Amino acid sequence: MHDAARAPFIHHGTPAFRQTNLALFAAGFATFGLLYCVQPLMPEFSRDYGVSAAGSALSLSLTTGVLAVAMLFAGALSDAWGRKSVMVASLLSSALLVLVTAVMPNWTALLVVRTLLGLTLSGLPAVAMTYLGEEMHVESIGLGMGLYISGSAVGGMGGRLITGVLADFFGWRAGVMVVGVIGVLAGAIFWRALPPSRHFVAQPLRWRLVAGRFAGMFHDRGLPWLFVEGFLLLGAFVTVYNYLGYRLLAAPYNLSQAVVGLIFGIYLVGTFSSAWMGHLAGKLGRRKVLWTAFALMLAGVALTMCRPLPLIMLGIVAVTFGFFGGHSIVSSWVGRRAGAAKAQASSVYLFCYYMGSSVAGASGGLFYASHGWQGVALFVGALVLAGLLIALRLVRLAPLVNVATPPMPMSRGAMP
């Protein structure tokens, strides 16, 4: 404990900062490529397996639902087993499962493997947030979190783009196989590049203490609202992209699967917005910047209700920019308010975040079946509007007075 307290924090501009961001960029790239590579394939699944849009969405919703629950425990396991070891095992096992997905013979088998993927993936996102919260200097955590989320944006785009385009030429199985191979390579880069933890102190698994720290977070005036923001952010974002392909493949647009896959290149704006808005929030204050991300998403959803394709694309750009910026702000804010309970706070935040994807992503299919895209847009608009109102409430949230300096290791039962 004493040595950990004296170890320096990772500051931007240092070799350790560059190594950390290379590793976490690779991890984010792989994790979200592996998770979301099936999203542009949902119309293909509907055709191949004869399932509805809502049924096809289970290929993603089951994964994110299991992921959400499993992440509640991933943080506690990393407290005992170490941050890096849990993340490496998570990443490599997940890449292998995606390779297996490509050879599954029927829809039920595919869903079983995608469900297992949610379990194995859980070890990386929550623990990565915890690692950054422990190891980054307070002045660098916003930028570090933004760069990690940038890797997530590129991975989410790359996984979708690869499978979407290759499905037109070689079939969807070839696209999924390529994403799995990339995941294995990214896992190897992560393993070699990530610096070992310097502020982590291993703790035995004490489930009663863990449960107490989970409960203690809900006494904070800000954390529960930030958890809800995570649910609304990803729920709205995933719902838009889940059903966008169905709309654009149909009349009057009649786009090809390859062209729809290329639309996921819009994710590139997330690589900029997450880092830029995260850094801006670090300078101006998160409570002063977060609401603008939701306002931008709301404007983007409204544009997608227009008929001209350029306006739809502009709306998707606005939704994507606002989502990645908002997620960067909220996720780093959770780490700052959680104090010694960073692992548990990250787990609860990401539980809510991925439950948003699972619940809203599947529910959007019912709106699409009954009212087409206009129904989806109104559903998503309601989610984003709720997020905007909460963000405006958080403007008045009083800051914690004991996190002005880099967080030092605290006793495992202490709360800020």
What does the alpha-carbon distance between residue 360 and residue 354 come to, in Å, rounded to a whole number? 10
Please provide the DSSP assignment of 330-386 as one string: HHHHHHHHHGGGHHHHHHHHHHHHHHHHHHHHHHHHHHHHHHHHHHHHHHHHHHHHH
Convert the pLDDT of each residue in 330-357 to its tens digit.
988 887 787 767 767 877 888 899 899 9
What does the alpha-carbon distance between residue 164 and residue 225 come to, in Å, rounded to a whole number? 36
**Which residue ranges form the domains of the chain, and what is each CATH number?**
16-197+215-394 (1.20.1250.20)
Over range 34-48, report the average pLDDT: 91
Structure tokens at 164: 């979407």
**From the CB of residue 195, how many other CB atoms can be counted at a distance below 10 Å?**
15
Convert the pLDDT of each residue in 274-307 to its tens digit.
778 877 887 787 888 999 999 999 999 999 999 9
What does the alpha-carbon distance between residue 265 and residue 406 come to, in Å, rounded to a whole number? 37
- Residue 180 contacts residue 99 (beta carbons within 8 Å): yes
User: Is 80 exceeded by the pLDDT of residue 74?
Assistant: no
| Residues 308-344 as b or e (16 or more Cβ within 10 Å = b) | eeeebebbbbbbbbbbbbbbbbbbbbbbbbbbbbbbb
What pLDDT is stored for residue 400 in this prediction? Answer: 62
Non-local (6+) Cβ contacts of 351 within 8 A are: 68, 69, 71, 72, 227
Over range 320-327, report the average pLDDT: 92
Calculated CA dihedral for residues 325, 328, 330, 333, nearest 10 degrees: -130
Predicted confidence band of residue 409 (pLDDT cuts 50, 70, 90): very low
Helices (H), 264-341: 268-284, 286-304, 309-338
